[in-house]
Structure 1
Amino acid sequence: MTKNGWGLVGTGRIADDRILPGINAHAGNRLVAIVSRDQGRADTFAKKFGAQHAYTSFDEMLRNPEVTVVAIHTPNAQHADQAVAAARAGKHVFCDKPMATSVADAERIVRECERAGVKLGINFHNRFMPCFVETRRILESGEIGEVQLVQLEASPGARPGARLATWRVDPVLAGLGTTYSIGVHVYDILRYLLASEITMVSAFFDTPYGVMEETNMSLFRFANGVLAQLSVHEKSPFPHNDFVIYGSKGRIVGRGLTRSRAGGELQVMTVDGKTRSTEFPATNAHGACVAAFSDALLDGRDPVPSGIDGLRSVQVTDAMARSAWGGVHVRLAY
């Protein structure tokens, strides 16, 4: 059996506790190489996860013919150049979110992957949370009628000082704050659930231009007419992490379900006024996302979430930043 030969760049927490275990858990994968700026850290990760090679040079890893797919988990601003280099080397690309920190760079990644004939997938792991899979099934069934309005909160809780020593507070490396670290997952999940594109945004950040925002309050209008109200933040110590989807014949409420590392309850109220509830435990959605991308490579299919999903996310967050900094509504056209 031909296996996917993985190389990973970026040895942070997510790679350590989610992505690398996910790669190794799939029977169709083989971990070939790890890249870190620090040789000692590269060696440690290679030993821990069974990689054959430990590099400090990304280019050197790309020259290894056993590497057929590259997982990119570096600071946001580095994604574009690394994804393009991987594509030009003939490697498939599995990129962490955000795919890039500018629309131009996101378009460049998609273009170069298409030109090289390699697959491009994005780590939008919330799509693999069972609660959202079930929510989409309910919406598609028409059980709550036509969706009219969505309200959603996503937050890890207050993290005072937790990021001060990391690249995530550097606007050059991070691009945006909580919008990128937390928000992109729920912006994408609404596109997935509603099967519609965002056509207008209005956003408010809690900080001025150039300072990493910890709160993003935003409104979306979708092409299908649905309005959404979203709160994404890292300030309050006790977030609900709920979502509510109002339909013409019912309502779906997700209690504590917008973050994959915590479980919660899905409540569905139907036209007769009755409510049914289902408990959903915390799930390893990252592992499921890696597995889906791995399967797509082995089957020769286009992965989902795709590079276009990554591009749409960057287009939306770019519009949000322009709205927040300019105090205006921003329309999107694709």
Structure 2
Amino acid sequence: MPSQPPGPGGRPSSRRRPGTWRRGRIIAALAILTALLLLAHPLIPNWPGNAGSLLETFLPWTGALVLLLLTAALLRRSALALVALLLPTLVWSTSFGAKLFDHRGTGGDLTVVSHNVNDENLDPAGTARALAASNAQVIALEELKRSEIPKYEDALAARYPHHTVQGTVGVWSTFPLRDTRPVEIMPWTRALRTTVDTAKGPVALFVAHLPSVRVRLDSGFTANGRDAAVERLAAEVAADSAEKVVLVGDFNGTTDDRALAPITARLKAAQDEAGDGFGFSWPASLPLARIDQVFVGGVRAVAAWTLPATGSDHLPVAATVAL
């Protein structure tokens, strides 16, 4: 019998199907490229439209790309591609694998909730009641609309007798507040600093809403305003003499984004230390990135999580810390 399938005229065909070690070269190349992106993303320059920051914002989603390539390799029956995929799988697992597990603990002394309530929120009172139901001792709100502030005040007054609003950010607390002042990160007030006198001593609380970012075809990832505000905020935190610091708010950036390095070099993200999953907070309808943060310094994060959706386009984020 012929060793090859017959070709035209009954003669054996000279064409052979490529073996499993020769098929899937493009998939293997894409797998190696994905691994390189995960390993070398800090080396990607920011000057062409903040490309490095844009990649880092969605860096965890490279895991979805690995799964897509794995599916393609299996369909292609490519041993070469499957072996190549071991590299990005290992790198991604090292970087993000721990986030697949629940690291929340129990106990703690202070629970803080932070929420960008959205100035177009159609139900401020309902949003406030939902946040109060978390039983947090401190609630920090960002993107407050001046005309809607009384609705938040009325809904939170019974449980949170101490509160302050500075510009578009505010704090409601079961503990007394003092030494409150605005923090200049922009020409108008979008950040504050206050002292929360807890039962276990004072805690310096910073609340911030950093400038928004956009992705445009002509200019790329427009994040320069945010980046400048991060520098100013980090300088304020660094200059503070308090031993225990909690920094919360909408940062319009993830902890993987190099732009937040001035903050992450000094403070720890509660979600990274004691969270359940990735803690994606935006957009609320289909969370893709964790741009709402709780950072801590001089205290230990016990648990961090996101709360159910409200009338905002962000999910509230919460953290419990041990003082």
Please indicate, yes or no, whether the TM-score normalized by the shorter chain is above 0.5.
no
Radius of gyration: which is bigger? 2
Using the size of structure 2 for normalisation, the TM-score is 0.30
